[in-house]
Amino acid sequence: MITEPRLLLTVGEPAGIGPDICLQLAFHALPSGVLLIGDLHCLRSRALTLGLSLRLEPWLEGNPWPALERGVLHVLDVPLAQPCRPGRLDMANAPAVLATLDKAMHLLRAGAADALVTAPVHKGIINDAGIPFTGHTEYLAAACGSPKVVMLLAGRGLRVALATTHLPLAQVAAAVTQEGLEGTLRILHRALREDFALSEPRILVAGLNPHAGEGGHLGHEEQDVIAPVIAALQGESLRISGPWPADTLFTPRLLEDADAVLAMYHDQGLPVLKYHAFGEAVNITLGLPIVRTSVDHGTALDIAGTGRAEGGSLLRALDNAAEIVRNRRAAGC
Ligand SMILES: NC(=O)c1ccc[n+]([C@@H]2O[C@H](COP(=O)([O-])OP(=O)(O)OC[C@H]3O[C@@H](n4cnc5c(N)ncnc54)[C@H](O)[C@@H]3O)[C@@H](O)[C@H]2O)c1
Ligand SMILES: N[C@H](C(=O)O)[C@H](O)COP(=O)(O)O
């Protein structure tokens, strides 16, 4: 019997808007069964703060998967060390935030769920707590033993993948290597086929330097690193082109012939995507053995507990996770 995808949803940083947008789900028609992983007491207290009337039911490992019911959410309780206060970070709670991810990984490995959706965490407070952490992407890659993964954000018809993720700008050029780029493009190409059901995906690759290096006068990474990788993959009949100057790459005429863009670094690609589709986009980690999606925004500490958090991106992240699970099943992966 084929079941609807079972989605795990980690609540994220408790002082941020993660609890707010998770609680909103009780009032939406969801694509699949969803199980929250977070602190039950924090969620109950945030529901009171927000004036939301819903039932929060504890779920224990081994219980049957929760049925969809309007006005009810099921929660696998992972208690925080300290009470959560909207907008007020507390590093004592960082281990519990990461414990929700570990719990999710445990359930996925045990075959008790089909995909993971994550609400935002605060990278800074986890580091302040003395735990090295650069993002879910890297944390889940390590947890899965995946040597290489790719961050892709998608919204309103635009898909932007990143060749490098969370690292200081000063380290980006050295991190763009032929080996790394080839691995990224292969993972992206495969995911577009299997997860997005595109039979012959077309990928545009951005240059690193202004005007894609201006023939070597404004940088040499295009000639030395990016172009040879593109040429090699074109030799395998992959529909990959570039390096394109990043300033004009994101224009309608070029994008209409593309399924995805590969940007060289975080703030080359994501500002464009977020300008285009903030609040409606989804962050997807490609190259993991599990399905993982997330929201396009952060913890928004400034509006936590105020009722102003918008949950559109989370709804799409859930939809997207369910769709990827169905596509992988259809492709036999
Ligand atoms: N998936 C994730 O875990 C994730 C994603 C992005 C950022 N972050 C982290 O979040 C923290 C804060 O990041 P930031 O301040 O750069 O970005 P942010 O997205 O938290 O906030 C930027 C602005 O957008 C607003 N905003 C964000 N989400 C909103 C929503 N759903 N509804 C209404 N308004 C919203 C905020 O109020 C703020 O004004 C950082 O630690 C960052 O690393 C985590
Ligand atoms: N780079 C993401 C963004 O700007 O939306 C974000 O920081 C989330 O990254 P992780 O999924 O790795 O936590």
pTM (predicted TM-score): 0.96
User: CB of 114 closer than 6 A to ligand 2?
Assistant: no
Q: Domain ranges in the chain?
A: 1-146+288-333, 148-279
Domains 1-146+288-333 and 148-279 share a fold: yes
Residue 185 CA to residue 191 CA, distance in Å, equals 10
Distance CA 270, CA 308 (A): 23
Q: Record the tokens describing residue 16, joined without a space.
A: 């941020």
Residue 274, annotated as binding a ligand: yes
Tokens of 279: 């609040």
Confidence at residue 332, expressed as pLDDT on a 0 to 100 scale: 78
Is there an atom of ligand 2 within 6 Å of 316 CB?
no
Could you say which ligand is closest to the alpha carbon of residue 124? 1
Superfamily of domain 148-279: Isopropylmalate Dehydrogenase (3.40.718.10)
Is 107 within 8 Å of 9 (Cβ atoms)? no
Q: What is the per-residue burial (b if ≥16 Cβ within 10 Å, else e) of 248-259?
A: ebbeeeebeebb
Q: How far is the CA of 299 from the centre of ligand 1 (A)?
A: 5
Q: Which residue has the tokens 């993971």?
A: 116
Walk across the sheet containing 291-295 and list its strands.
55-58, 72-77, 33-38, 6-10, 115-118, 291-295, 282-286, 150-155, 158-162, 260-263, 202-206, 239-244
Superfamily for 1-146+288-333?
Isopropylmalate Dehydrogenase (3.40.718.10)
CA pair distance 70, 50, nearest whole angstrom: 18
Q: What is the per-residue pLDDT for 2?
A: 59
- Write out the DSSP string of 90-131: -GGGHHHHHHHHHHHHHHHHTTS-SEEEE----HHHHHHTT-
CA–CA gap between residue 320 and residue 307 (Å, rounded)? 25
Pair 312, 280: CB distance under 8 Å? yes
The pLDDT value recorded for residue 281 is 98
Q: What is the pLDDT of residue 146?
A: 96
For ligand 2, mutation pick of 283, 293, 297 (most atoms within 8 Å of CB): 283
Around ligand 1, the residues with Cβ closer than 6 Å are 17, 118, 120-124, 136, 283, 294-295, 297-300, 302-303, 308-310
Query: Are the beta carbons of 282 and 153 closer than 8 angstroms?
Result: yes
Cβ atoms of residues 271 and 263 within 8 Å:
no
Tens place of pLDDT per residue across the chain (333 aa): 558 899 999 999 999 999 999 999 999 988 778 999 999 999 999 999 999 999 999 999 999 999 888 999 999 999 999 999 999 999 999 999 999 999 999 999 999 999 999 999 999 999 999 999 999 999 999 999 999 999 999 999 999 999 999 999 999 999 999 999 999 999 999 999 998 999 999 999 999 999 999 999 999 999 999 999 999 999 999 999 999 999 999 999 999 999 999 999 999 999 999 999 999 999 999 999 999 999 999 999 999 999 999 999 999 999 999 999 998 898 877
Q: Residues 284, 293: contact at Cβ < 8 Å?
A: yes
Give the residue whose CA is nearest to atom 40 of ligand 1: 122
User: What six digits make up the tokens of 155?
Assistant: 């919204």
Query: SS3 helix, strand, coil % of the chain, rounded to 5?
Result: 45, 20, 40
Looking at residue 246, the DSSP 8-state letter turns out to be H
What's the pLDDT score for residue 1?
A: 55
- 283 CA distance to ligand 2 centroid (A)? 7
The Cα 315–Cα 332 span in angstroms is: 26
